[in-house]
Amino acid sequence: KVPAKYKTIKKLVVKSPAKTEVQEIPAETKTLTVKKMVAEPTLKQTLVPAKYKTVEKEVLDTPASFMWTNAETGAEKPWKSTGRQICLVETAAVTKDVTKVVLDTPATVTEETVPAEYKTIKVEKLVADAKEQRTPIEAEYKTIEKSKKISDSHVSWQRILCQTNMTKGVIKKIQTALNEKGYSTGKPDGVLGRGTRNSLEKYQKDNGLATGGITYETLDSLNIEL
């Protein structure tokens, strides 16, 4: 029997499709120290009251007066024509000291500029806006192997080793060759027992060879010459 034949087909398939990776980049800020006005400059006005002082002043209390008197007696009397000698006598003026409060300095208004008041504060300043970073990622591919049947199993005529040629020496060669290829038959003894038959059939199937006996095709595959 000739087993079905297969061939291995390699095919490139998509492992992961192409895509775009989106990364959110947050806004970038920095801290600044600034001065902030908390009170504007103002004009302060102050009233300076008037100042007074006390002064003493001599004032006329009684004015000077004049009187005609008798030149002989000095008697005072109103003037009258008598034919006598008279003279004009002055009575001195009388003064007195008085105390008076007078303005020394008038009231005034003084003006003073009060400077603006500031305080130091910390503020966050935007350095860069938040944004999206898009990174294209290419598709990934992988190679897969697929076994495809190219012919069905079928029965055909094959040249096999006849009983005459199936000597103990040939069987030993077959057992040795199978052992070397990893198909254990045990210690080569030249006997075509069940273990040797099973290993031989497995070798034939694995290598696409006809099964059902020791064919010349199998002997050629094992490099055995008769």
CB atoms within 10 A of CB 199: 20
pLDDT in tens, 200-214: 889 988 888 888 788
What is the pLDDT at residue 119?
92
Quote the mean pLDDT of the chain.
Answer: 81
- Report the Cα 70 to chain-centroid distance in Å: 125
Please say whether the beta carbons of 159 and 216 come within 8 A.
Answer: yes
pLDDT in tens, 99-129: 988 888 998 999 889 898 989 999 888 888 8
> Three-class SS string for 118-139?
EEEEEEEEEEECCEEEEEEECC
The residues, ordered by sequence, that sit 6+ positions from 110 with a Cβ below 8 Å of its Cβ are: 45, 46, 48
CA distance 76 to 90: 11
CA distance 68 to 90: 9
Number of alpha carbons in the 13 Å side-chain half-sphere of residue 54: 3
Where is mean pLDDT largest: 58-67, 78-87, 107-116? 107-116
Query: pTM to 2 decimals?
Result: 0.35
The residues, ordered by sequence, that sit 6+ positions from 83 with a Cβ below 8 Å of its Cβ are: none
pLDDT in tens, 145-185: 777 766 655 555 556 666 767 788 888 888 999 999 899 88
**Of the candidates 197, 196, 224, 199, which has an alpha carbon nearest to the alpha carbon of residue 213?**
197
Residue 224 CB burial class (10 angstroms; 0-12, 13-18, ≥19) = middle
What is the pLDDT at residue 208?
81
**Proportion of the chain above pLDDT 70, given as a percent:** 82
